[in-house]
Amino acid sequence: MSIQTVKKVKNIITDKIDEDYLSLFYTSGQECSVPKDEGNRHYQEILEWVAEGNTIEDAD
């Protein structure tokens, strides 16, 4: 699957960025809540995507 975008997560209640997780969106419409753990395959995929020159977007 191809990554559409990756965004930071903002907790609506606290209005603070959640430093432990990222939101991953695939072009297929699948969405993921990804822990920032280098043993997690989705986080590895995000790191590779960033290494290719892509940027993690700010939270909505």
Partner 1 sequence: MTKAAELAKMGEVLTNSQIGGRRNIVINGAMQVAQRGTSFTSQNAVAYHLDRWETSGFNMGDGVYRVDQSTDAPADFMNSTKIACTTADTSQDANNQMYFQQQIEGLNCSHVNFFVSNADTITLSFHVKSNRTGTYSFALKLSDNASAEDNSSTRIYNTTYTISVANTFEKKTITIPLDTNGSTKVTNNTFSMAIQFWLGAGSNRDGAGAGAWGANGNAATASANLDILGSTDNNWYITGVQLEVGSQATPFEHASSFGETLALAQRYYHHIQGGAKTKIAKGHATDARAGYFNFELPTSMRHTYTLVHSGLTTLRWVVEANSEKVPEQFILSDSNCLDIASVYMQHANNVTTVGYACGITLLDANAYIAFDAEL
Rounded to whole angstroms, the Cα distance separating 28 from 43 reads 18
Cβ proximity to partner 1, 11 vs 54, nearer residue: 11
Q: Is 1 in the site for partner 1 (CB under 8 A)?
A: yes
Please, which residues have CB within 8 angstroms of residue 30's CB and are 6 or more apart in sequence?
A: 1
| In contact, 56 and 50? CB cutoff 8 Å | yes
Q: Is 39 in the site for partner 1 (CB under 8 A)?
A: yes
Strand partners, 21: 35
Binder of partner 1 out of 41, 51, 53, 55 (CB under 8 A): 41
Chain residues in the site for partner 1 (CB under 8 A): 1-2, 9, 11-13, 18, 21, 23-24, 29-35, 37, 39-42, 44-45
